[in-house]
Amino acid sequence: MSFSIVQFADLEFAYDDPEQIARFVGTVQAHSDDPSLVVGVGDNVAPSAISLCTEGAAVQPVFEACTVAFDTLGNHDFDYGIETLTTAIVEAPQQFLCANVFDADGDRFGAQSGVLPWTTTEIDGVRLGIVGVAHPLTAAKSPPAADLTVTDPIEAVNEAIDALEDSGVDEIVCLAHLGDEENHGQGEVDDLAEQTDVDVICDGHTHGQPRIEQINGSLLCRTAGTGSDVNVLSYDGKWNAERIPCGGRAPATAIERTYHQLRTECGLTEVVDTVENPIERSLETLFFGESRLGNFVTDAYRWNGSTAVALQHSPGMRPGAALDGEITVAELIGVVPFDTAVVVATMTDEQLREVLTFGGEVHIPEHPEYWFLHVSGAAVTFDFADREIAELSVGDKPVDPAEQYTVAMPANCLEWFPVDVSAERSLGLQYEVVMEYARACGIDPSIDERLTIVNRKSTPSA
């Protein structure tokens, strides 16, 4: 009585790097001993440039090569629309599980496409119950999911436990796309471990922070994501786990060829510009204040819309390798890879001040001094001691109560920002706007004191 589970999650932009995705597949194949199950934990359909360009179809070669058995829904899996996701679900070899997402009619999401809330399987004489749950803020994080209802994952898992125990399972495994604390107490995987009686939690959502630990009798495992590693969970009457990095594994050559070909067919290998001074894309770059990446993106929005100001919320840009050397279409799409339009709205000086203040008011307990906005056309001094704007100017003039200001921003910011303004016109999808600007103006952003943050006690850690 022994078997293994190979766990992965958050492949996302690994699809855009043929060598990386091929090393990932090679690692999974090397550790998929018989008997074993390969399971995903969400954000494996989107986002990526290749997934975007192929409407999700490009993920299937990886699913098939890895013989994935089960997966759940991540918030980004919805990014390219419900139809794209449901098509990917139907075509995928794995069984998708999600117990806490419901459509506008109150039915379980994806039921007609084969999504189940939970199921059972037997491996080497052990009967496993497996349940999947999505992040409770999925509808807020992914605009195409806005009409869905996502319930408390803890309640959903406890309901599943009752049903699975009644069916006589030996062990219960939860596929949870929840991650660590980041959303005002909503969706943390530690809460799930402490408030449910599952044997194993395979977690996703939080990148770059792998975990293997026991919590309240549950073995909690998470990979670093983006195809960089897998976890191998072994069972021989008790559970153990080991993290396996993919970097040293020989690539699966057929997969590498497939994704090189897909990149070419999708036009993703076209070089847009050459960057001589690398543009960092770390978490600190996104969440600490002014950055060259944030300036580049917001300058693109302001240039395209001829607006007074442009804004980009930090979570709307994706971290990754620095933009360096020849920059391709794929790399630019990867900065803001969402089917979200850039829109223009008009704000009073007071509304603009409220929006910019909100950039420093969002509170994540683990990172209390993160900053959540990037700006073009304005200069902001934010005081973290009082959580307020000390100085604000647009152009080279202080904001004026008699003026109104046109502001370009991603459309989903209108729901996130604490002001009642409406979109007046659309500039096109985010990555299209950025691409147009890069082709016309090049990629050479600088730091020019748009954001000055004072009285911050420490630099947030990634």
Confirm or reject CATH 3.90.780.10 for domain 270-454, answering yes or no.
Answer: yes
Q: Which residues of the chain have pLDDT under 70?
A: 181-187, 362-368, 458-462
Mean pLDDT of the chain, nearest integer: 93
pLDDT at 458: 64
pLDDT at 67: 97
pLDDT at 272: 97
pLDDT at 462: 37
pLDDT at 319: 86
Topology alike, domains 3-258 and 270-454 = no
pLDDT at 461: 43
Tokens 């436990």 belong to residue: 161
- Domain borders along the chain are 3-258, 270-454
pLDDT tens for residues 214-273? 999 999 999 999 999 999 999 999 999 999 999 989 999 999 999 999 999 999 999 999
Which superfamily is assigned to 3-258 in CATH?
Answer: Metallo-dependent phosphatases (3.60.21.10)
